[in-house]
Chain A
Amino acid sequence: MSTNESDGSEGLLRSIVPPNQIERVFDFCDAHAWKLLAFGAVAGALPPLLGLEQGYYMTVISEMYLFAILALSWDIVGGQTGYPSFGNMAFFGIGAYTTAILVKDFTVAVPLAMVAAGLIAVAFAAIIGAAVLRLRGHYFAIATLGVLLATQQVSRIIEITGGASGKILLDVPPGTVFYYLFFGVLVVEMAVVYYLSNTRFGFILNAIRDDEEKATAMGFNTAYYKTAAWMLAALFTGLAGGTYSLFNTFIDPQTAYNGAWNVELIAMALLGGSGTVAGPVLGAFGLHTVIEYVETAFVGWHLVLLGVVVVVTVIGFPEGIVGTLREYASEMDYYERGGMAAAGDGDSEVIDDE
């Protein structure tokens, strides 16, 4: 009697996945986030130690971590701050080339070259950010896409990058090293983003997303916060790029500034749920697994799939998996608690449909 009419499928869903259970999982995750992260870090560090690595799967999992880093970095600005960048891969490319050039042409030690990749990407982000972060919406998205294509084109022309034919890097560390590198960066990044999302800094980023003018009117220096977030994203993306060029042992403008990857990582963040910590990471794991399968089973079709995934996600679940679940849980929670109050102590206020 107290159920509403649109209960057919939702009733089924509710009996399989009760919303209060989802709510409970979310509550649990929120309360124990740091322990879960530590547990995940230990669990993720184990497989190579136990000798479970098989060349191919090791590479696939390393790539999954790589994409998770990229998606989460995109989300710092795209999801938390609401500035949708189509040019994050510029940081990746700059990081990749920095490492490649330093290692190959200047014989700099590998760890130093990787750190330099992150720092140079941050410096580039600071300069570019001063210009593009003044733009909003359409203009910001297209300007960042322009930045990506311009840097790609410049890498294709100048000498030190090896031009269009790229750079080949031999003499790189073994695969397990990269597994730990990507994994380590991802864990650190998750910790940083999670920590920040509960600080004043994180709240201001979200305030910028929700209403930038109001945030400015409240006296926050939004330009400062936007640029800081943008540089943080560049740091992790640049580190990932710097690691990738050695991991891949080859780098050219097409792979370093891969525009399709840029869409891929946006799709991952959106699919998982942007504006959260777990969302982009889950999205990256899920989508990369599917893409990897399609790439091996139907060679050449994975970008078609990507296009379809993007369109379906955006039209069907703009909130992503985490966002949709959370919405479902909290919405149902409202009814559940209302209903329980009515049944439990017979509160006169809630008795309406008897």
Chain B
Amino acid sequence: MAVTQFVVNGLLIGALFAAVAVGFALIWGVVDIINLAHGEMVMLGGYTSYWVLSLITGNAEGTPLLFLATIPAAIAVLYVVGYGLQRTLVSRVIGTDIFLTLLVTFGISIAIQQLAIQAWSANPRSIQVAFGDPSINVVGLVIPKMKLVAFVGAIALTAVLYLFLQRTRTGRAIRAVSQNPEAAALVGIDVEHTRAVTFGISSAIAGGIGAFIATILNIQPQMGLIYTLKSFVIVVFGGVGSIPGALIGGLLLGTVEELTTGFVSSQWTLAVSFTLLIVLLVVKPNGLFGEGAEQ
């Protein structure tokens, strides 16, 4: 196996990590909360897509188009979940000790995880997407089609979010709240609603990516924490509040993990990414592209 193949695999997977991390960074930047339940949104999105597909076809297998049709469902369901969580629970701890906000989101994460185990058992599941020919060959590189679809999907979701934040009225409101909630309230922005919308959007993207993850890697109720921590690694690496930073951070983390898998063993990927996290935090807590946590 050539290094290029690992790098390509890493970039394909890394885009998924990046898109999850973008949502995480958005909540961190706008609501000023580290959402430790973010990974659970990925998990719930995966299950939503899985069940919708099962409902249509009778089992969790389908054509690429049918699978893509389940993505809006995952996005919509998770938007509602995220919006509701912010409105009912998270909003009550905003402005208190940051440690309490961490603990609340961790509590939510544990509760969702365990409810998911009760509902769907702890067995891993996956969505089978049928292609005539599962992979394509480009200059000696093998690229699985599903990974390519997921890669494009992840980039598209990130791009849509970026444009949404830049171009729409709601997007401007979100940016205003992230910069200065008091001033935003003064000019007539409903800060509470905007924060909940942000939470909803961020969860929705995580949910959409969860559906893609269900086709490539497995989904199971306890998968969430890993994605939350990976998001944290990526955001710390890219800098809080920077979407391009998160994108580059995600692609890099994916590459590092694939290279570890390729040259050492898949068992070491997690240990490597968490060690990377600690080293990064100690060496450069503001990230490579960061403008500092305040901005």
Chains A and B are bound partners = yes
Residues of A within 8 A of B (CB): 78, 84, 86, 131-132, 134-135, 137-139, 141-143, 145-147, 149-150, 153-154, 156-157, 259-260, 263, 266-267, 270, 300-301, 303-304, 306-311, 314-315, 318
How many Å from the CB of A40 to the closest CB on chain B? 29
**Interfacial chain A residues near B96, Cβ < 8 Å:** 318
CB of B106 within 8 Å of the partner chain: yes
Check A300 against B117 for contact (C-beta < 8 Å). Answer: yes
How many Å from the CB of B294 to the closest CB on chain A? 13
Check B267 against A306 for contact (C-beta < 8 Å). Answer: no
Nearest chain B residue, comparing its CB with the CB of A303: B114
Beyond A300-B118, A314-B93, is A139–B281 a contact (Cβ under 8 Å)?
A: yes
**Interfacial chain A residues near B118, Cβ < 8 Å:** 300-301, 304
Beyond A307-B107, A314-B107, is A141–B102 a contact (Cβ under 8 Å)?
A: yes
Query: A300–B111 Cα gap in the complex (Å)?
Result: 11
**Interfacial chain B residues near A157, Cβ < 8 Å:** 265, 267-268, 271
Check A311 against B107 for contact (C-beta < 8 Å). Answer: yes
CB of B201 within 8 Å of the partner chain: no
Closest 5 CB pairs of A and B: A307-B111, A310-B107, A150-B274, A84-B99, A307-B110
What string of 1s and 0s marks CB contacts (under 8 Å) between B179-219 and chain A? 00000000000000000000000000000000000000000
**Interfacial chain A residues near B265, Cβ < 8 Å:** 157
Beyond A137-B99, A142-B232, A301-B118, is A150–B111 a contact (Cβ under 8 Å)?
A: no
**Interfacial chain B residues near A141, Cβ < 8 Å:** 34, 99, 102
Query: A153–B265 Cα gap in the complex (Å)?
Result: 13
> Would you give 28 A-B contacts (Cβ < 8 Å), ordered by A?
A86-B102, A132-B278, A134-B282, A138-B34, A138-B102, A139-B285, A141-B34, A143-B277, A143-B278, A146-B229, A147-B274, A149-B225, A150-B278, A156-B267, A259-B225, A263-B103, A263-B110, A270-B103, A300-B114, A301-B114, A301-B118, A304-B118, A307-B112, A311-B107, A314-B100, A314-B107, A315-B93, A318-B96
Nearest chain A residue, comparing its CB with the CB of B102: A141
**Interfacial chain B residues near A138, Cβ < 8 Å:** 34, 98, 102
CB of B97 within 8 Å of the partner chain: yes
Nearest chain B residue, comparing its CB with the CB of A143: B281
Nearest chain B residue, comparing its CB with the CB of A84: B99
B83-107 contacts to A (CB < 8 Å): 89, 92-93, 96-100, 102-104, 106-107
Query: A311–B225 Cα gap in the complex (Å)?
Result: 18
Other A-B contacts than A139-B236, A303-B114, A304-B115, 14 sampled, CB-CB below 8 A, are A78-B99, A86-B106, A132-B281, A138-B102, A142-B277, A146-B274, A157-B268, A157-B271, A259-B225, A260-B110, A301-B114, A308-B107, A315-B93, A318-B97
Interface of A is mostly: helix
How many Å from the CB of A94 to the closest CB on chain B? 15
Check B102 against A84 for contact (C-beta < 8 Å). Answer: yes
CB of B113 within 8 Å of the partner chain: yes
Query: A78–B229 Cα gap in the complex (Å)?
Result: 21
How many Å from the CB of A86 to the closest CB on chain B? 8
Query: A145–B103 Cα gap in the complex (Å)?
Result: 12
**Interfacial chain B residues near A145, Cβ < 8 Å:** 229
How many Å from the CB of B108 to the closest CB on chain A? 6
Interface of B is mostly: helix
Beyond A84-B102, A157-B267, is A311–B89 a contact (Cβ under 8 Å)?
A: yes
Nearest chain B residue, comparing its CB with the CB of A164: B267
Nearest chain B residue, comparing its CB with the CB of A270: B103
Beyond A150-B274, A314-B103, is A142–B229 a contact (Cβ under 8 Å)?
A: yes
**Interfacial chain A residues near B275, Cβ < 8 Å:** 150
Total contacting residues, chain B, CB less than 8 A:
40
How many Å from the CB of A130 to the closest CB on chain B? 9
**Interfacial chain B residues near A267, Cβ < 8 Å:** 103, 107
Query: A308–B275 Cα gap in the complex (Å)?
Result: 31
How many Å from the CB of A160 to the closest CB on chain B? 15
Q: Which listed residue (A84, A139, A149, A310) contacts B229, Cβ 8 A?
A: A149
Query: A157–B274 Cα gap in the complex (Å)?
Result: 15
Query: A347–B241 Cα gap in the complex (Å)?
Result: 59
From A84, A145, A311, A315, residue with most partner B Cβ within 10 Å: A311
Query: A131–B236 Cα gap in the complex (Å)?
Result: 16
CB of B3 within 8 Å of the partner chain: no
How many Å from the CB of A39 to the closest CB on chain B? 34
How many Å from the CB of B90 to the closest CB on chain A? 10
Check A154 against B111 for contact (C-beta < 8 Å). Answer: no
**Interfacial chain B residues near A143, Cβ < 8 Å:** 277-278, 281-282
Check A315 against B104 for contact (C-beta < 8 Å). Answer: yes
CB of B152 within 8 Å of the partner chain: no
CB of B270 within 8 Å of the partner chain: yes
**Interfacial chain B residues near A137, Cβ < 8 Å:** 98-99
Query: A147–B107 Cα gap in the complex (Å)?
Result: 20
Query: A138–B225 Cα gap in the complex (Å)?
Result: 16
Beyond A307-B107, A307-B114, is A315–B278 a contact (Cβ under 8 Å)?
A: no
How many Å from the CB of A311 to the closest CB on chain B? 4
**Interfacial chain B residues near A86, Cβ < 8 Å:** 102, 106
Beyond A143-B281, A300-B117, is A266–B103 a contact (Cβ under 8 Å)?
A: yes
B106-164 contacts to A (CB < 8 Å): 106-115, 117-118
Query: A141–B99 Cα gap in the complex (Å)?
Result: 8
Check B102 against A135 for contact (C-beta < 8 Å). Answer: no
How many Å from the CB of A74 to the closest CB on chain B? 12
Query: A131–B281 Cα gap in the complex (Å)?
Result: 9
From A139, A301, A308, residue with most partner B Cβ within 10 Å: A139
Nearest chain B residue, comparing its CB with the CB of A132: B278
Check B110 against A142 for contact (C-beta < 8 Å). Answer: no
Beyond A135-B282, A149-B229, is A307–B268 a contact (Cβ under 8 Å)?
A: no
Nearest chain A residue, comparing its CB with the CB of B103: A314
How many Å from the CB of A252 to the closest CB on chain B? 15
